[in-house]
Amino acid sequence: MHMRTRARGRSDVNVAAGLAEGASNGRLSIWSRPMGLLENKRILVTGVLTDSSLAFAVAKLAQEQGAEVVLSGAGRGLSLTRRTARKLPNEPQVIEIDVTNTAHLEHAALELSERWGRLDGLLHAIGFAPESCLGGDIFRAGWNDVSVALEVSAYSLKALVGAFRPHLAAAGGASVVGLDFDARVAWPAYDWMGVAKAAMESLSRYLARDLGHDKVRVNLVAAGPVRTIAAKSISGFSSFEDTWATRAPLGWDVNDSQAVARACVALLSDWFPMTTGEIVHVDGGVHALGA
Ligand code: NAP
């Protein structure tokens, strides 16, 4: 599949489709090329902080597959998100969304109404837990810190989807994808982030239940460990790296987010039309093993 290097509008898409038609009639043109998986899709990507962010890999691949992308960033990281946006094939607009800030969500919804009207895809790539919530002692954090971890890392999926619900419904087949870390088991050091991910897994099923009649799908990608800013802040992250190095049937590269990005883009596309409330494991197969 050819990679695209610049954004095209709807008319260009039609031109490409027409040329492809010509090609199928035997009149192959040097201008014809296969359509991207996300051609004509409008997608909001949260969680791009640096070019190591999982969301950066998703935004890049989404653009290469034909999507129009808007990024969101938050707080002190917002200027970093804007700088990182310039590294994408087409520099996207960056809007401010701290998921704990209702005014940001309302304002962002208004902005997207004016810009696009509908939203075909939404990537939730947001996680945060105060330091006391991580590190290998589940008793250390009190409710104040735990509530922050749960709000930012789990409840935020409902907050985001709720804010853009009319835009998602207007698409008539939209896809919400969230990034997960397998929460069926207890991991070293992951502590309250693990609890937050378990909440997010459950929440994704309830969102799938309540949005199905609007043809909005809600799925998660449970990724293996990838070295990002968030990952590096987990003391004990190296134990994940060791686990994946020895246990992944397919092998695993902690510096490669391509497999995760491809799964997200596939779920954002029209190629999973009857899949919702699902967790797709992109972890080299580690989740499938007992010991
Ligand atoms: P990352 O690049 O550090 O991204 C985390 C993002 O969350 C940052 O953009 C951060 O922005 C954002 N964020 C934190 N608090 C926020 C808030 N209140 N409002 C809005 N955004 C907020 O790390 P990442 O690893 O790519 O993480 C993305 C997602 O993937 C997370 O849900 C993470 O749990 C999940 N995941 C990661 C791995 C891994 O190994 N890396 C594996 C499985 C799942 P600011 O810093 O500006 O607040």
Give pLDDT tens digits for 258-286. Answer: 999 999 999 999 999 999 999 999 999 99
Cβ 123 under 6 angstroms from ligand 1:
no
**Ligand 1: which of 98, 126, 237 to mutate, judged by most atoms within 8 Å of the beta carbon?**
126
Nearest to 115 by CA among 62, 59, 43: 43
Q: Whose CA is nearest to atom 23 of ligand 1?
A: 230
**Ligand 1: which of 101, 128, 200, 257 to mutate, judged by most atoms within 8 Å of the beta carbon?**
128
Task: Tell me the mean pLDDT in the region 214-242.
Answer: 94
Q: Judge whether residue 2 has pLDDT over 60.
A: no
Task: Tell me the mean pLDDT in the region 218-222.
Answer: 99
Q: Judge whether residue 95 has pLDDT over 70.
A: yes
Q: Examine the residue annotation and report whether 41 is marked as an active-site residue of this protein.
A: no
The ligand 1 atom at the shortest distance from the C-alpha of residue 75 is 47
Residues β-bridged to residue 71: 45, 94
- pLDDT tens digits for range 199-215: 999 999 999 999 999 99
Q: Whose CA is nearest to atom 41 of ligand 1?
A: 226
Task: Tell me the mean pLDDT in the region 9-24.
Answer: 40
193: CB partners within 8 A, 6+ apart: 127, 129, 133, 134, 149, 153, 181, 234
Cβ 257 under 6 angstroms from ligand 1:
no
Contact status, residue 60 vs residue 34, Cβ threshold 8 Å: no
Q: Judge whether residue 290 has pLDDT over 50.
A: yes
Q: Look at residue 29 in the predicted model and tell me its pLDDT.
A: 55
The structure's pTM equals 0.91
* Confidence category of residue 291, pLDDT binned at 50, 70, 90: confident
Residue 189: C-alpha distances to residues 69, 94, 234, 243 (Å): 34, 33, 7, 13
Residue type, 160: L
* DSSP secondary structure string for all residues of 32-91: --PPPTTTT-EEEE----STTSHHHHHHHHHHHTT-EEEEEE-GGGHHHHHHHHTTSSSP
Residues 95, 106: Cα–Cα separation, whole Å? 12
Q: Look at residue 220 in the predicted model and tell me its pLDDT.
A: 99
Q: Look at residue 10 in the predicted model and tell me its pLDDT.
A: 36
Residues 164, 44: Cα–Cα separation, whole Å? 10
Q: Examine the residue annotation and report whether 155 is marked as an active-site residue of this protein.
A: no
Q: How much of the chain, in percent, has pLDDT values that exceed 90?
A: 85
Q: Whose CA is nearest to atom 4 of ligand 1?
A: 47
How far away, in angstroms, is 76 Cα from ligand 1 center? Answer: 14
Residues 166, 128: Cα–Cα separation, whole Å? 27
Q: Look at residue 20 in the predicted model and tell me its pLDDT.
A: 43
Q: Judge whether residue 107 has pLDDT over 70.
A: yes
Task: Tell me the mean pLDDT in the region 124-140.
Answer: 97
Query: What does the mean pLDDT of the chain come to?
Result: 91
Q: Look at residue 31 in the predicted model and tell me its pLDDT.
A: 59
* Confidence category of residue 34, pLDDT binned at 50, 70, 90: confident
Instruction: Give the active site residue among 60, 155, 158, 197.
Output: 197
Q: What is residue 167's three-state secondary structure?
A: helix
Residues 262, 225: Cα–Cα separation, whole Å? 16
Q: Look at residue 32 in the predicted model and tell me its pLDDT.
A: 62
Residue 18, φ and ψ in degrees, nearest 5: -60, -45
How far away, in angstroms, is 34 Cα from ligand 1 center? Answer: 33
